[in-house]
Amino acid sequence: MNFFFLCDKMMANANHQIINFSRNFSNFRESKLYPFIIPSSSILLLQQRKHHGLSCVSGKSGSTLVQQRPPSKDEVLEMMIDQTVEEEMIERSTSLNGMEESKEMEYLVREYGWKVRRMVEEMTEMRKVADIQAYSFHNPSLVFDDWFFQFFKAEVLAGLLYRLRNSPPDRYACLVAEPAKEDKVIGSTKSQAHQNQQQLVGVVDVTVFRDADVLPHLLGAEEYLYISGIAVSNNFRRQKVATVLLKACEVIAVLWGYEYLVLRAYEDDWGARSLYTSAGFQIVSRDPIWVTLIGRKRRILMTKRLPYVS
């Protein structure tokens, strides 16, 4: 009797973690810190969830994942990621041919030992971008955390592919930061130095928006450049990578002809607020206080005007 009671309790805890993950992921998308747009091919992922022991239960408050049985092998997780993006990659395969040579593109910013460019639209680099953003924004779970992380990373990658496929090149860009010069470590080979140079250390998304609740804070602007998904690899934090990424966003704004940069941050995230304030952003509004009553963190809206944009 005690054994079955313990099993039931463990399963209930697992279900509780999965439901919390689903709710937190929904709140995360709504926060616009990283505006996920999940493509229609997610239906394929839902089919895989059912096949591997997950069912999706719909109700008035949305959909909730219910665990029937955990996956048995790590290979299943990798297959989920591959199949999530399979349809997008088929449609983009012709346009991705020959993109490797674009890695020699002109860099937007070179400063503090880092350089920033637009992401190359090839699968290896897109996976690196998804890894960095997933590690930065994933909330650890008490059970099945590795599986939840792989699932979260698959959603990040699917959202990236969707935005690339459905956005004009002058209205969305994913920017990546990498070391500005080869590592001079004694004993390192030329190939090792080149590999270190091509390592991605940070990413950020920039998207042209025109939200009605933001435009009143921007004098005379009809659209603006929204910054989201800024993430830096753990080993390279506090080394000015985020600062260089923000400067690259300014360069994109000038190239595209937008006068305002806009971003959101959590009110209690003092590290992010300090970073954005140092970069010239100012707080123009806050979420209403009642959002805290429904379990959401309060956000601030910050803007920066670029005087050199006509």
Q: Which residue numbers are catalytic?
A: 276
CA distances (Å), 255 to each of 240, 248, 249, 262, 286, in order?
23, 11, 10, 16, 30
Cα 284 from Cα 214, distance rounded (Å): 9
Cα 98 from Cα 121, distance rounded (Å): 10
Cα 126 from Cα 172, distance rounded (Å): 15
| Distance of alpha carbon 160 from the chain centroid | 8
Q: What's the burial of 167, exposed, middle or buried (CB within 10 Å: 0-12/13-18/19+)?
A: middle
Q: What's the burial of 288, exposed, middle or buried (CB within 10 Å: 0-12/13-18/19+)?
A: exposed
Q: Which helix (H) or strand (E) holds 277?
A: helix 270-278
